[in-house]
Amino acid sequence: MKAILVIGLLALCSFFWVNIPIPFVVPKGFPPPVYNFNKNPVTKAGFDLGRKLFYDGKLSIDGNFPCSSCHQQFAAFATYEHRLSHGFNSQFSYRNAPALFNLAWQREFHWDGGINNLEVQPLAPMLDPHEMAESLPHVIGKLRADKQYSALFSKAFGSPGISSQRILRALTQFTVSLVSADSKYDRVKRGEAAFSQYEKPGYEIFQQKCAGCHKEPLFTDLSYRNTGMEVDSTLKDYGRMRITGRKEDSLKFKVPSLRNVYLTFPYGHDGRFNTLSDVLEHYNTGIVQSATLDSSLRKGIPLSDNDKFYLIQFLGTLTDSFFVGNPLFRDPGQNRR
């Protein structure tokens, strides 16, 4: 009986007093993360606060556009089935919303790499008049007026106060924890599962024809490449050139990860490809030649229908059901049972 009391007391103590640190665990075979955790170590309270903010409409001007409105867990935190996402006042976003996972390994964010640190990434959608259309002072004011938030910020950061830095760091504690590394592919790599007769040849074709840019285990080399997609005349999106101002970067976009690729359609920076077979057909026959076209794509990537079938079977093994169903990443408002 005494033992139970002591343990209970300990649990209570830790629940109310200690903000439990959550160590970041690098999945087997993954490189070391590039995010600098020193200034913003992930804690239970910080993570919980970040998750609450991620799902809170208060971060948008009219309350309707939390981060999660465009980054849906069941779509691996991309926007399910939308070329462009919807923002404030029936406006479209500029590009296809990227899926959010394994962000700890990324130095730059956005299709054009314009964001140089995960912590400042949320400012882009929050302040974009087409997306959440807010201003920082206004968001801070709304959160300060909410008593619940004052307590949560105190708990997460050890002293009272709500600032832009704390909002951004809390959000980062949530987003940096979105690690997807438990797909069938990962289990095969760990020796816990085997590829099917369809997936195995698909993996071989993948290694031969795709892995140069979609490098394992992140399934992206995080470089910027022109993959021969014609400029859309309405968006006029020249990709990375917008950031660097260099002609050489015209039409280059970041290589997206293929993890969870079944869930993140439509594909491409403007979501022009509806299905994976559309994407593969683009590499097979649809490459548009231009000065900055990636040298590996000058002749396209010849793919037979068989190749495509097997490839798509393999890509299915990259779906991480644990990740998209993980209750820790769910809307905290829907988590009580």
Partner 1 sequence: MRLFAAILRRRRKSGCRAKSPGISGFSELRPEGKAPVPEKTIKYEPETLLVSSGKSFFNSKRSMPPAFRLILLLMLITGISSFQNISFSQQTKIQATAPPNLILHFKATVHGQPLQLHKNYTNPFGETFKPDIFRFYAGKISPAINNHAALKEFRGGAYHLIDFSDSPSTTVRLRVPEGVYDEIHFLLGVDSLEQTSGAQTGALDPARGMFWTWNTGYLSLKMEGTSPDSKEPFHAFSYHIGGYRFPNRAIYNMNIGTDNGQKFRVNKENTTNLTIRIELDDFFDGAMPIHIRNTAACTTPGDTAVRILQNFAEAFTGIEIPGSP
Nearest-angstrom CA–CA distance, 88 and 66: 11
Query: Which of positions 184-213 make contact with partner 1 (CB under 8 A)?
Result: 184, 196, 198-199
Distance of closest approach, residue 168 Cβ to partner 1, in angstroms: 4
Nearest-angstrom CA–CA distance, 275 and 79: 15
27/217 with CB nearer partner 1: 27
What are the start-end ranges of the E strands in the chain?
Answer: 86-87, 91-92, 224-225, 253-254
Query: Which of positions 23-52 make contact with partner 1 (CB under 8 A)?
Result: 23, 25, 27, 36, 39-40, 44
C-alpha dist (Å) from residue 275 to 73, 213, 250, 282? 20, 20, 26, 11
Nearest-angstrom CA–CA distance, 288 and 226: 10
Residue that is written with structure tokens 């917008």 in the block: 242
Distance of closest approach, residue 171 Cβ to partner 1, in angstroms: 9
φ/ψ (deg, to 5) at 291 = -60, -35
262/288 with CB nearer partner 1: 262
∠ CA(335), CA(76), CA(120), 5° rounding?
Answer: 90
Binding part of the chain for partner 1, among 61-69, 215-223, 286-294, 322-330 by CB under 8 A, reads 322-330
Distance of closest approach, residue 293 Cβ to partner 1, in angstroms: 24
Binding part of the chain for partner 1, among 64-72, 217-225, 294-302, 321-329 by CB under 8 A, reads 321-329
Residue 124: its H or E element: helix 123-127
Distance of closest approach, residue 228 Cβ to partner 1, in angstroms: 22
Nearest-angstrom CA–CA distance, 196 and 302: 24
237/293 with CB nearer partner 1: 237
Query: Which of positions 259-298 make contact with partner 1 (CB under 8 A)?
Result: 262-263, 265, 274-277
What's the one-letter identity of residue 125? Answer: P
∠ CA(101), CA(177), CA(95), 5° rounding?
Answer: 30
Is residue 25 a contact partner of residue 177, using CB atoms and an 8 Å limit? no
Nearest-angstrom CA–CA distance, 110 and 253: 9
Residue of 96, 172, 173, 175 that binds partner 1 (CB under 8 A): 172
Nearest-angstrom CA–CA distance, 314 and 267: 17
313 counts as binding partner 1 under rule CB under 8 A? yes
Distance of closest approach, residue 53 Cβ to partner 1, in angstroms: 13
80/215 with CB nearer partner 1: 80
Three-class DSSP category at 86: strand
Query: Which of positions 61-80 make contact with partner 1 (CB under 8 A)?
Result: 74, 80
Binding part of the chain for partner 1, among 57-65, 206-214, 225-233, 242-250 by CB under 8 A, reads 242-250
Residue of 91, 150, 154, 244 that binds partner 1 (CB under 8 A): 244
Binding part of the chain for partner 1, among 54-62, 143-151, 214-222, 239-247 by CB under 8 A, reads 239-247
**Size, binding site for partner 1 by CB under 8 A:** 83
Query: Which of positions 94-153 make contact with partner 1 (CB under 8 A)?
Result: 110, 114-120, 123-124, 126-128, 136-137, 140
